[in-house]
Copies of this chain bind each other. A is one copy, B any other.
Amino acid sequence: MENLNKATIQRLLLYYHYISDHLAHTDGVSVSSAEIARLIDVDDTQVRKDLSALGLKGCPRVGFKMAEVKQTIRIRLGFNDCHKAIVVGAGKLGGAIGSYKEFFDYGLNVIALFDNDPNKIGLMIGDHVVQPVDKVETFIRDHDVQMGILAVPADTAQDVARKVIQAGLKALWVFSSTHIEVPENIAVRHEHLLGGLAEMLYSMKMQTIKQSV
């Protein structure tokens, strides 16, 4: 079972969405690597390499079975497993993420939100009542939570991270705008909005230069 790198994961997700969106309402059963490649804007060899890394076999002159490709991507990326997650920090960003309906379809089940602000505790956000953050450790143990979504202010993020990891969380998805250090057996991903902004601003600048030449 080959390991997938990040670029491959992103491409697989694109294939998945392409098949779901654009081809679900055609009556075809199969799709060729060239067809996927054209819309995703990658090389068709790349598509075949990626699919074969999942163990998928295509059929010469026909292509790959769409339903099979979809299911295999779901399984391999973990969308078919159920992952229990909590959100810590029920501000605007935490609230938005905590009530993001689409996650459920991808195997992520947000089961609670926590905050330390007495004004937020007790509020209803999405399907959940905001709970006091001192209850978070007990909650993690009682409900066997696997993922923590952090949307707390940058200056408390590391501290919160330490607490929830100690309570047993195995993965942190960090939306606080700071870098969190974690033990190496913990999965972590920083979803840094400023990183996205930096790329946006730079490509705007490049466009301007291109136009003025």
Given known pairs A13-B194, A92-B92, the reply for A187 and B200 (CB within 8 Å) is yes
**Number of A residues, CB within 8 Å of B:** 60
Q: A38–B4 Cα gap in the complex (Å)? A: 26
Contact with B along A190-205 (1 / 0, CB 8 A): 0111111111111111
What residues of B have a CB within 8 angstroms of the CB of A179 in the complex? 14, 17
A106 and B187 in contact, given A200-B173, A204-B170 (Cβ under 8 angstroms): no
Asked if residues B92 and A198 are in contact (CB atoms below 8 Å), the reply is no
CB neighbours (8 Å) of A194 from chain B are 13, 102-103, 106
Stretch in contact with the other chain, from A61-69, A75-83, A116-124: A75-83
Q: Which of A4, A102, A204 counts the most B-chain CB atoms under 10 A from its CB?
A: A204
A24 close to B (CB within 8 Å): no
User: Once the chains are docked, how many angstroms separate the CA of A179 from the CA of B83?
Assistant: 26
The answer to whether the Cβ of A177 comes within 8 Å of any Cβ in the partner chain is: yes
User: Given contacts A78-B201, A106-B194, are A206 and B93 in contact (CB under 8 A)?
Assistant: no
CB–CB A108/B177 < 8 A: no
**Do residues A13 and B195 form an inter-chain contact, with CB atoms below 8 A?**
yes
A-B contact pairs, 16 of them (CB 8 A): A9-B199, A10-B195, A13-B192, A13-B198, A77-B198, A77-B202, A83-B201, A93-B96, A102-B193, A103-B193, A147-B200, A171-B207, A173-B196, A173-B197, A185-B211, A189-B196
